[in-house]
Amino acid sequence: MSRPCDVLGIGLNATDTLLLVKEFPPYAGKVAFDREMLSPGGQVATAIVACARLGLRAKYIGTIGDDLRGNIQRESLEGTGVDTSSLIVRSNCPNQTAYIVIDERTGERTVLWQRADCLRLQPAEIKAEDIASAGMLHIDGYDIDAAAHAAQIAHENNVPVSIDVDTLYPGFESVLKYVDYLVAGSGWPAKWTKEQDPFKALSKIQAEYNTRVAAMTLGDLGSLALYQGRWYYSPAFEVTCADTTGAGDVFHGAFCYAILTGMQMEKALDFSNAAAAINCTAIGARGHVPELSEVEALIAQGHTGEVRRLEDAAVAGRVRAQGSKR
């Protein structure tokens, strides 16, 4: 049966203040910044914007403040075609904010953020029919009770659950047991499992929680995934990086698109890496969220060698060795 919504995101949004500096100052140092920008972002909200840009029917549920930053966030979502009909506006509450210092030499950034407690999403504010009508649910784990409630509803309605996680949340097991597609930040699997080897860490997570996919991003060296007993590794695409903010969020949105459109796992990782790389070419978490044709063009350039792929040699070697044993 066709569902009215391809992907539903429930989780964080933020409106960032970006400060661009020629080089990051040393500890306790001082440096002038070149430019200041207000820019919408946030893990799940940006992933859902990426889904919409790629052509999916996308909906976002979360809380926003009734201030300027909240208005910027809502205008960004609606301007991209995201359904905000279930967005929850908190009166007399500031929107989540972040101050992000961007090193213009490399595009790397340092994030300072704050989220008022009045923005906490409560389980009772989530409608089961919103989740049941979606083709996929994408969440984070910040408001843990709401995330667990949403994931359980999705599980009961055969809606696959994707999660973006890079922080250790108390009680996260209540969410993880319902997750189908885990794509963690580079350091999270080791922190969660106490296994420093990414292959052992992801294997342990998949065995314990029975996720369909246990995967992780590897920063500027691509992504690694375990699926149906096989390892997949996709090197990153080399681009001129202006800002890495939002790269992981766009990766998650593209990964949701790849799963919903039936891509094979190797292609899904390539597709997600390419989308994330394109977003890094402009300033802001949504600086250049790509359209489908742009992602496909970058992948094609990678195949021809026009664009270089950045590989983690150790990871790639272990994945290739797996293939030689089959």
pLDDT in tens, 257-279: 999 999 999 999 999 999 999 99
Q: What is the CATH number of the domain that holds 267?
A: 3.40.1190.20
* Tokens read off for 96: 């989540």
* Banded model confidence at residue 131, pLDDT cuts 50, 70, 90: very high
Name the residue range of residue 24's domain: 5-324
- Give residue-wise pLDDT tens across range 194-236: 999 999 999 999 999 999 999 999 989 999 999 999 999 999 9
- Give residue-wise pLDDT tens across range 282-306: 999 999 999 999 999 999 999 999 9
Q: Quick one: pLDDT at residue 326?
A: 47
What are the backbone angles phi and psi of residue 250, rounded to the nearest 5°? -65, -35
Q: Report the alpha-carbon distance of residue 98 to residue 244 in Å, rounded.
A: 15
* Tokens read off for 45: 């909200």
* Tokens read off for 53: 């840009």
* Banded model confidence at residue 3, pLDDT cuts 50, 70, 90: confident
What are the backbone angles phi and psi of residue 152, rounded to the nearest 5°? -65, -45
For residues 163 and 140, the answer to whether their CB atoms sit within 8 Å is yes
CA atoms within 13 A on the CB side of 300: 6
Answering whether pTM is above 0.75, one says yes
Q: Report the alpha-carbon distance of residue 30 to residue 207 in Å, rounded.
A: 48
What are the backbone angles phi and psi of residue 183, rounded to the nearest 5°? -125, 100
- Average pLDDT score over residue span 78-105: 95
CA 43 from chain centre, in angstroms, equals 5
Q: What is the number of structural domains in the chain? A: 1
**Residues whose CB is less than 8 angstroms from the CB of residue 204 and which lie 6 or more positions away in sequence, other chains included:** 193, 195
Q: Quick one: pLDDT at residue 283?
A: 92
* Banded model confidence at residue 44, pLDDT cuts 50, 70, 90: very high
Percentage, residues of the chain above pLDDT 90:
92
Residue 239 has pLDDT above 50, yes or no: yes
Q: Quick one: pLDDT at residue 144?
A: 97
Residue 325 has pLDDT above 80, yes or no: no
Q: Quick one: pLDDT at residue 2?
A: 67
- Give residue-wise pLDDT tens across range 139-167: 999 999 999 999 999 999 999 999 999 99
Q: Left (φ > 0), alpha (ψ -120 to 50) or beta: where does 135 sit? A: alpha
* Banded model confidence at residue 322, pLDDT cuts 50, 70, 90: confident
